[in-house]
Structure 1
């Protein structure tokens, strides 16, 4: 009975996040922290930071992987699946609807969309402030965070981000090699290492086997699954990075036109949840509802398999002093990466006028100091965007 209650709570909370988490993967981590860590105390901040660090190393949608990992820790494999469904399905449903109705609507320049982008500025700023206090509280770690910010801005690529994290880990091993670390809280793990190894085996079998199966069967469904699975398997850096790869896979084949691809991308910016749900729109354009389900499953399956495969080993390795030393610096670097993302692309693409800045500052105050619920801040931001549009 207790497990059922816990699973229902996972689905309910993740669905709320799926309906209200605007602003992309960095903003999602802010929403997760507010809901899972600050409000519900499902994890301590150290464990949350370790999960973020782990998911930064994995290809695929980092925020979705963090959500899946939290679901697994809370409710096992079923909890991970429910966390994924709750966070993902709302935006998938909206994007599939847009795939059928988009030609009748012109909303790319709507004021409420701009308001939601301003909300993202406030959410990420709150996340940077909160995580910075915990993960970069002294001069060495502040320095690491600042350097990570600078290098992220100067080297804005997925490879650059991974390199920064790896370099920070190496620095941490030497910088904190003599430091005594407090005992970390054991993460309750309901999945075994055998399941983890099996998940990693399935990941690689599909990655290398699907291209061969596509050639043998010559079926469009297999080819579509292969294209989206590879996109989810090989891309570091989140949703924006996957778009060029999907465009190269889908447009030249004639499965979707270039203008339709770009139109769907514009709509994807306006919906909450992970940008990888753009696959739902693309799949629906290719083959209706069945295509949407196939594409969505294919692009997210690698993320799920990689989290299940790596999470059972995290308890063991995070207890080791050298790993703790590396994570100490990596967590500071993650703060720097968040700060860089706050500036570019979130700030630079959103804050265009003094009015935009004023609204962002007000929303930041509501979130950080007045403790207004994030969903209410989203509504206030959308309304403010509409009012800006009317006044312009």
Structure 2
């Protein structure tokens, strides 16, 4: 018994040491993300890819195919897309507890900044100084340039064939033509079904051609050579992007005189998701039970306390928002401005400044929650906004990611995610247009106007795009330079 106790204690100590080492590992790789991740979700995805797939001189946490699959899953589920992405990557690498710490490292710096902004906005006058409007317009212009660049970079990875090229265009144009809560998920579902049908058709064609080859084995070899080309093409149509890359690598090695057996496949990624599939189902069921209860209580009460109403609206927004930060802005406007909790001017002021804050755009809910309650309850409102907007997406991500280990082995699921990914990237181009149309703030246009009304903002956007793409200027620096350019423009021509 004593020996068993010693062995058990030793195992417990080793387990604790391993958990501590995982905590230290994620801290060392993510401690700065909450302070340096500027530019919104499209830029965040590039930062995460560079750090955890490319590695930046360190060991990658996930491979390219896993990253692309996670991107599609995060876009297909409600909630903050880039936040779910960094949480999922950390969960795969180190487990749920270290991933929760990474979520706090990622989101809290920007949340605290938005809380401070809410406290400050409550004390400012109705009309802002003229240079402030120019500063905010410059920040928005620079952000448009960075998001446009991120959309282009994401599209390069999402486009693997002619169909996905069409789906990126389909998502972008579809998002421009109409806007509703149900609409964006439908666009992504259509994209997923399109690739599923396309890949199934390609597989069927490949099988038919194989049967034709079997029937013609007795014919001259020249005929087989003529038929072998369409067989390869049909097989390629049913392969994933990752399989095609491996095949291409093998072909290049064979062409250089090396045998295929000498090609060393990438090492498997170590994971720490030690949770049974049934727990994922339990998490999802509990979440929806809580959601239904919350909505029922809100509907039954005749006089809903304002703190409960704020949490309820934020929780509902976090549950039904698909597409991440660019989509949350118009919905939150309906949930806080229309009820009269936040003025249109304060909403747009926060909208301009959130672009200059690091971390997720969903921290905008922290700012709005703080303004919705009176000055003595700003902290409570901000906490309710933070919890309400983040809990739904994070809980659903935990539940679904547990199921994903089984689902990702199914070819049809991977095929659908390829289309979901392409359509979701198209929606990023939509976000560029929507921010462009409300980014210009003036004393007389406090509700926001198109940046196209002043050519200077187009120049700022183009310069930001160029600096970040070709001269490796950090996005945070580029956004600050955009604000400086706005102030310089105001100082030169004094438009107001």
User: Displacement, 1:359?
Assistant: 3.4
Deviation readout 1:89-143 (Å, 9 max, x if unpaired): 1222122212222123747944443333233233323323322222214323212
Unaligned runs of 5+ in 2: 1-16, 204-237, 247-265, 440-450
Contact 1:189–1:312 (CA under 8 A) maintained in structure 2 = no
Give the Å deviation of 1:226. Answer: 3.1
The alpha carbon displacement at 1:221 in A equals: 4.9
1:114 to 134, 137, 143: 137
Corresponding residue number in structure 2 for 1:190? 273
Aligned to 2:370: 284
Alignment partner, residue 336 of structure 1: 426
CA distance in 2, matches of 1:118, 1:263: 15
Q: 1:108-147 maps to which residues of 2 (within 5 A)?
A: 109-147=132-170
| Kept after mapping to 2: 8 A contact 1:239/1:274 | no
- Which of 68, 86, 104 matches 2:124? 104
Instruction: Judge which range, 313-322 or 297-306, deviates more.
Output: 313-322
Q: Distance in 2 between matches of 1:135 and 1:227?
A: 34
SS of structure 1 residue aligned to 2:239: coil
What secondary structure, in the 3-state scheme, does the structure 2 residue paired with 1:176 have? helix
Count of matched residue pairs: 388
Give the corresponding residue for 1:228: 314
Q: 2:197 aligned with 1:174, yes or no?
A: yes
Q: Say if 2:184 is the partner of 1:150.
A: no
Q: Please, what is the CA RMSD of the aligned residues?
A: 3.3
Residue 403 of structure 2 is matched in structure 1 by 313
Q: 2:293 corresponds to which residue?
A: 209
Q: Which residue of 2 aligns with 1:271?
A: 357
Q: Is the CA contact 1:119–1:363 (under 8 Å) kept in the aligned structure 2?
A: yes
Show the counterpart of 2:331.
242
| 1:41-52 to 2 correspondences below 5 Å | 41-52=60-71
2:392 corresponds to 1:372: no
Structure 2 CA distance for partners of 1:228 and 1:354, relative to 1, 3 Å: closer
Structure 1 12/245 Cα, relative in aligned 2: closer, same or farther at 3 Å?
A: farther
2:384 to 294, 299, 307: 294
Cα shift readout 1:47-69 (whole Å, capped 9, x = no counterpart)? 22222211222222222222322
Instruction: Tell me, in whole angstroms, the C-alpha distance in 2 between the residues paired with 1:256 and 1:349.
Output: 18
Taking the aligned partners of 1:39 and 1:117, their CA distance within structure 2 comes to 30
Q: Does the CA-based 8 Å contact 1:22-1:120 persist in structure 2?
A: no
Is contact 2:69-2:414 (8 Å) kept? no
The 8 Å contact of residues 12 and 86 in structure 1, kept in 2 or not, is answered as no
How far apart, CA to CA, are the structure 2 residues paired with 1:153 and 1:173? 25
Q: How far, CA to CA, are the matches of 1:329 and 1:212 in structure 2?
A: 36
Per the alignment, do residues 235 and 331 of structure 1 end up closer, same or farther by CA in structure 2, a change over 3 Å counting?
closer
Q: Do the aligned residues in 2 keep the contact of 1:280 with 1:292 (CA within 8 Å)?
A: yes
For normalisation by structure 1, the TM-score amounts to 0.84
Query: Which stretches in structure 1 are left out of the alignment for 5+ residues?
Result: none
Structure-2 change in CA distance of 1:100 and 1:338 (3 Å): closer
Work out which of the residue numbers 27, 38, 44 in structure 2 matches 1:28. Answer: 44
2:183 to 127, 151, 160: 160
Aligned-pair distance for 1:365?
3.0
TM-score by length of 2: 0.68
Q: Cα gap change, 1:377/1:43 in structure 2, threshold over 3 Å: closer, same or farther?
A: farther
Q: Do residues 362 (structure 1) and 452 (structure 2) align?
A: no
2:23 counterpart (1, 4, 7): 7
